[in-house]
Amino acid sequence: MEREHSKNSYIYVNSEYGFEHNIVIPCEDPISELVHIMILKHNLPIYVELELNQDVEKFIKERSTDYFNEETTKMIEEAKENKINLEEITKKWEKVLKEEMAEYGECRCASDDELFATAYHKMVHSPALETMLHLEHMYSQTVRQKTEEKKSVIQELSESQNKEMNNAVDRLEKDMTETKINELVARHYETHSLMQGKLNSELDTLKEAQRREYRDWIMQMLEQNQTTSSLRTPNSPLTPPDVMIPTHSLDLDIQDTPMLEESFTIHLGSQLKQMHNIRILSANVMDLCTVEDGKQSSEPKPQLIQTALALYSNDLSGLVLLADNKIGSRGIQEFQEVCQKSTEFHFAHIEDQLDKISNIAQKYLKSDHKNENRNSHSELLQPGDFYITKHSNLAQVHVIFHMVSDDSLRGNDINSRHPVVLGLRNILRTACSNDITSLTIPLLLQYEMTEEMTISWCEKRAELVFKCVKGFMIEMASWGGSDLKNLQFMVPQGISNQVFQSLTDMLPRIFKVSNPKILQ
């Protein structure tokens, strides 16, 4: 039921349902995903999944055995006939060892970013932490002040233009014509664009100057700290005038908004069980990103301390943020505004990261080598796709997984094979491979409450996500990398106490919650 297609590619032919599918041997993809792709691509009924899964597994096992037998026989014959080029094999192994193992890698000079990262990591784990955060806070105050001035100027210009336009419209039947009004509209648009560009340029220049001064200061203070323990904050024109520092760093005027939350400790794993902390909370997703702006305080917020300490570590925090299918579009405008409230000292600014990601994505989507299961006519991202941005100036997260979603998530009939659910699996896998040990995901795959989200809708969606994530976490044990120590399920702010309590009652039934045993 197969014919050779290329060196290690075979055509799986299913005569019962009348379709063919190309399978590369050795097959690295999970069989369940391969079968699901076949069902979608060839419009097969869902009930054939189990039968097809067994048949495909048998096919892959037989073809893999044949393939490895052929390869082994070929290598043995070449060894007998002295056809093996030992020098070529040696060069290949030498290349692999140099690329994969640090002890055999070629020595090279560290880049400026690597030197700064090393210096920052040393300084942030020293008594200099308070001074560093204080300086960052002063920088952010300057950026916020400049941002407020920008908004004020733009607002005044808009109000002035609106007033001028209203006067022109009132004189339409006297000395004003439609042509003149159109010219006025064009002039207003040009003036507004020029002013916006000018103010944005000034703000970008300020941030870049702060970034350069801060990085130079860190390098200088590292050298100074080796001889003296005193660290002084530079008197810089890029920071606001000094203000009196209050004796208490907590701003009593700012009270945290109360939010619903519940925490659990669970153990997962088939043999060696791993402990995980799970938390379910109701909040605005931007609360995890936004650094509270205490305008009357000259002290940095304690939110940033843990973020700074873990920045260059193997204990990073991530957040799944839902987005639309166009990178950098209006869907993440609020998030971009949060990122722009302060200077990014460690990574590229959010606009630059998104531009780079967009360019890479467009090259891939326009290429002839993209996955055969993607829409060949679409140059947009599809549900379940995600891209990653890195940050050091957010409140509680270092890495953002921007996952594409669509209106199908509003329905009540999605299942475990939905692209966004599979996207969560890929995000968990990526997190484990990149030292992200804390992750926040939307439990309802929505960050805002809508009319169709009834109690039964929320319970059904939560049960699906709970069960799928549990399966993904058990599967993580075979992926290697870091353990996901902390997992947060976030539900929309404003959810009723009744629904929230129902979801928290559901979690311990699906996950195995650790309860102490009391011996009497």
pLDDT-derived band at 240 (thresholds 50, 70, 90) equals very low
Rounded Cα distance, 39 and 284, in Å = 38
Helix, strand and coil content of the chain, in percent to the nearest 5, comes to 50, 10, 40
Torsion angles phi and psi, residue 313, rounded to 5: -145, 180
Contact partners, residue 380, CB within 8 Å, separation at least 6: 325, 326, 365
Rounded Cα distance, 229 and 216, in Å = 18
In the chain, how many domains are there? 3
Burial of 332 per CB tally in 10 Å (0-12, 13-18, 19+): buried
Residues 46 and 147 reside in one and the same domain: no
Inform me whether the pLDDT recorded for 225 exceeds 80.
Answer: no
* DSSP run (H or E) holding 412: none
- Residues 339-359: tens digit of each pLDDT: 888 899 999 999 899 999 988
Reported residue count of the chain is 520
- Residues 305-333: tens digit of each pLDDT: 888 999 998 899 999 999 988 887 656 78
In the three-class reduction of DSSP (H, G, I as helix; E, B as strand; rest coil), residue 23 is classed as strand
pLDDT-derived band at 299 (thresholds 50, 70, 90) equals low
Mean pLDDT of the chain: 82
Count of beta carbons in the 10 Å neighbourhood of residue 403: 24
* DSSP run (H or E) holding 361: helix 350-366
Q: Is residue 251 part of a domain?
A: no
- Residues 111-146: tens digit of each pLDDT: 788 889 999 999 998 888 888 988 988 898 899 899
Boundary-marking domain end, from 103, 132, 160: 103
Count of beta carbons in the 10 Å neighbourhood of residue 410: 15
Q: Are 236 and 213 in contact (CB under 8 A)?
A: yes
Residues 351 and 468 reside in one and the same domain: yes
Single-letter residue type at 280: I
Residues 325 and 407 reside in one and the same domain: yes
Q: Is residue 377 part of a domain?
A: yes
Rounded Cα distance, 335 and 323, in Å = 10
Q: Is residue 2 part of a domain?
A: no
Count of beta carbons in the 10 Å neighbourhood of residue 28: 6
Give the per-residue pLDDT at 230: 52
Residues 316 and 198 reside in one and the same domain: no
**Owner of token pair 């795959």:** 445
Rounded Cα distance, 10 and 395, in Å = 51
- Out of 32-36, 377-381, 386-390, give the one with best mean pLDDT: 386-390
> What HEC string does 57-80 produce?
HHHHHHHHHHHHHHHHHHHHHHHH
Residues 43 and 163 reside in one and the same domain: no
Rounded Cα distance, 496 and 517, in Å = 33
Q: Is residue 232 part of a domain?
A: no
What CATH number has the domain bearing residue 388?
3.40.220.10
Residues 80 and 137 reside in one and the same domain: no
490: which DSSP letter?
E
- Residues 424-442: tens digit of each pLDDT: 999 999 998 888 999 999 9
pLDDT-derived band at 271 (thresholds 50, 70, 90) equals low
The long-range contacts involving 267-276, CB below 8 angstroms and separated by at least 24 positions, are 267/512, 267/514, 268/470, 268/473, 268/474, 268/511, 268/512, 269/474, 269/477, 270/474, 270/477, 272/477, 274/477, 274/483, 275/514, 276/473, 276/483, 276/484, 276/485, 276/486, 276/487
- Residues 139-175: tens digit of each pLDDT: 988 998 998 999 999 999 999 989 988 888 888 777 7
Give the per-residue pLDDT at 243: 33
Q: Are 350 and 340 in contact (CB under 8 A)?
A: yes
Residue 243 corresponds to which tokens in the numbers above?
Answer: 């203000």
**Which sign does the torsion angle of CA 248, 252, 254, 260 carry?**
positive
Q: Are 310 and 119 in contact (CB under 8 A)?
A: no
Q: Is residue 175 part of a domain?
A: yes
Residue 502 corresponds to which tokens in the numbers above?
Answer: 């129902």
Residue 310 corresponds to which tokens in the numbers above?
Answer: 């873990």
Residues 34 and 159 reside in one and the same domain: no
Residues 481 and 350 reside in one and the same domain: yes
Residues 124 and 96 reside in one and the same domain: no
Torsion angles phi and psi, residue 331, rounded to 5: -60, -25
Residues 149 and 269 reside in one and the same domain: no
Single-letter residue type at 290: T
Boundary-marking domain end, from 74, 103, 132: 103
Q: Is residue 338 part of a domain?
A: yes
**Which sign does the torsion angle of CA 168, 171, 175, 176 carry?**
positive
The arithmetic mean of pLDDT across residues 21-44, rounded, is 85
Q: Is residue 110 part of a domain?
A: no
Rounded Cα distance, 124 and 305, in Å = 9
Residues above pLDDT 70, as percent of the chain: 84
Residues 163 and 130 reside in one and the same domain: yes
**Rama region for 262: left / alpha / beta (φ>0; ψ in -120 to 50; rest):** beta
Q: Is residue 233 part of a domain?
A: no
Cα 515–Cα 516–Cα 519 angle in degrees, nearest 5 = 140
Inform me whether the pLDDT recorded for 374 exceeds 70.
Answer: no
Nearest to 338 by CA among 295, 293, 306: 293
> What HEC string does 275-336 produce?
EEEEEEEECCHHHHCCCCCCCCCCCCCCHHHHHHHCCCCCCEEEEEEEECCCCCCHHHHHHH
The parent domain of residue 198 ranges over: 117-225
Rounded Cα distance, 353 and 358, in Å = 9
Residues 445 and 315 reside in one and the same domain: yes
Q: Alpha-carbon Rg of the chain, whole angstroms?
A: 29
In the three-class reduction of DSSP (H, G, I as helix; E, B as strand; rest coil), residue 39 is classed as helix
Rounded Cα distance, 246 and 55, in Å = 72
Rounded Cα distance, 211 and 190, in Å = 31
Boundary-marking domain end, from 47, 77, 103: 103
Inform me whether the pLDDT recorded for 71 exceeds 70.
Answer: yes
